[in-house]
A = this chain, B = another copy of it.
Amino acid sequence: MAVNQRVNIFDVANQAGVAPSTVSRVLNGSSKVSDSTRARVQLAIELLDFRPSRIASGLSKGRVANVAIIAPYLTRPSVVARVDGALEVFDKRGYQTVLYSAGTPAQASEYVERLMDRHESLGVLVISLPLTEPQLLGFRKSGVELSLVDSYASGVVNVHIDNVRGGWLAADHLIKVGHRRIGIVGDIDNNFHKFRSSQERIYGFTKRLLEEGISLDSSLIRIGKHSPIEGRRMAEELLVRKAPPTALFATSDTHAIGILAALEGLGLSAPDDCAVVGFDDLEVARLLDLSTVRQPLVTSGTVGAERLCDLLEGKSPEPKGLKLDLELVARASTMGKVGVVLGSK
C-alpha cells in the first residue's frame, strides 16, 4: 500500500459523496452547482487539504496558466524594475511566471526557441530584446502569445518609449540652461548589438543640437560598456581635454553616475564645472541629484504584463503599440541648488 498518496478529486468526491466531475465543477467555479453540494465539496476539500494538480489540469485543458519572461541582464536596475512590475501583475491575474535571464544573444535565442511551444507557457513577455522575423513567425504559428516591452515589432503588442524624443529632451534642457559645447557618453552592447536605444537617444540629442545650429563635435562622443566604471573612464577622457565640454549627456543613469564620480575624482563638480544629464531616473538619480530623462520602468513592466494577460483572455489590446511618456527631471546636476520637474509630453 502506497504511503503518502496524493489526494485527488476522487478522494474529495468520495468524501463529499458526489461525482468527481462535480468536484471539478466547483473547482472551476461552474454556476451549475447547487449551493448545498458546493458547500459539501468545499468542506471535503478543506478536510483533505486537497490541492488540485495544475499539471493534470493543464494537460486536460490543453493549457497551463503559465507565462514566461525573457530578459537580458537581469541585474541591471532598469531590467529588474520592469520584471518586478510584470511579476506582480502576473501573480495578481493568476499566472505563474517562469523567468529567463539571458546573458548572450545565443542564450536568448535558445530560450525563445524553447518557448515556442504551447505546453511551456501560454504567453511570453519579452523585455529589451529584439526578435527576428523567423522567431516572430514561430510564435504566431505556435499560438503562444507575445508582448514586447522596450522593444518593437509591427503587428505585435508592445510598449516602448520614443528614445529619439528622450535624447531630444535632454539636449533641449541643456541648451536652455545655456550649454553649447556638449559631450555624450553612450553604450555599446557587444553582446546584444541590436540594442539600439542608446544610439537613438544620441540621434535625438544631436537633432536638437542641429535645430539650434550647434554643430556636434564628434570627438566629444564616447561609447563604452554599460557600467558606471566605464562611464567614469569615458568621462575622465573627455574632462581632461584642453577644451572640455561644459555639459555631458549620458544615455543611461548608470553611465551618468560614473560621470559624477569622475567629476568628484578630478575635484570638479556639477553643474559648475560640467553639467550632467542621464536617462532612466533610477533611484540613485534622486539621491545624487542627477538631472535625467525619466522613463516609466516599472509601468512598462506592468502594462506589458497586463496586455499579455488580456491577450490570453481573448481581448486584443489596441493599439498594439503603446508609447509611454517621458519627462525631463531637472535636478542639481544641471540646475545647481534648485531642482524642478520641467515639461513633458
Binds B, one of A28-36, A185-193, A284-292, A317-325: A284-292
Cβ of A344 to closest chain B Cβ, rounded Å:
23
Q: List 5 A-B contacts (CB under 8 A).
A: A6-B118, A53-B59, A98-B99, A227-B283, A228-B287
Nearest 8 pairs of A and B residues by beta carbon: A53-B119, A228-B287, A99-B99, A55-B58, A55-B55, A51-B117, A74-B84, A80-B80
A103 to B92, CA, bound (A): 13
Answer whether A74 and B98 are a contact pair too, CB < 8 Å, given A54-B120, A227-B283, A284-B257.
no
Q: How many copies of this kind of chain does the complex include?
A: 2
Kindly state the separation between the CA atoms of A98 and B81 in the bound complex, as whole angstroms: 17
B-side contacts of A232, CB under 8 Å: 287
B96 engages A98 (CB within 8 Å): yes
Cβ of A265 to closest chain B Cβ, rounded Å: 8
Q: Looking at the complex, which one of B56, B87, B103, B117 makes contact with A59 (CB distance below 8 Å)?
A: B56
A:72-95 near B, CB below 8 Å: 74-75, 77, 80-81, 83-84, 87-88, 91
Chain B contacts for A286, CB-based, 8 A = 229
Residue of B nearest to A90 (CB): B99
The reply to whether B287 and A257 contact each other, CB–CB distance below 8 Å, is: yes
Chain B residues whose C-beta falls within 8 Å of the C-beta of A100 in the assembled complex:
87, 91
For A141, list chain B residues within 8 Å (CB): 4
A258: Cβ under 8 A from any B Cβ: yes
Partner among B77, B87, B88, B284 whose Cβ is within 8 Å of the Cβ of A228: B284
A64 within 8 A of B: yes
By beta carbon, the residue of chain B nearest A62 is B6
Query: Which residues 258-307 in A have Cβ within 8 Å of B in the complex?
Result: 258, 261, 264, 283-284, 286-288
Question: A109 within 8 Å of B by Cβ?
Answer: no
Chain B residues within an 8 Å CB radius of A98 = 96-99
**Given that A97-B98, A261-B288 are contacting pairs, would A56 and B119 also be in contact in the complex, using a CB cutoff of 8 Å?**
yes
Decide yes or no whether A101 CB sits under 8 A from chain B: yes
Q: Are B74 and A83 neighbours in the complex by a CB distance under 8 Å?
A: yes
Assess whether A336 is interfacial by the CB under 8 Å rule.
no
Task: Return the chain B residue nearest A53 by Cβ.
Answer: B119
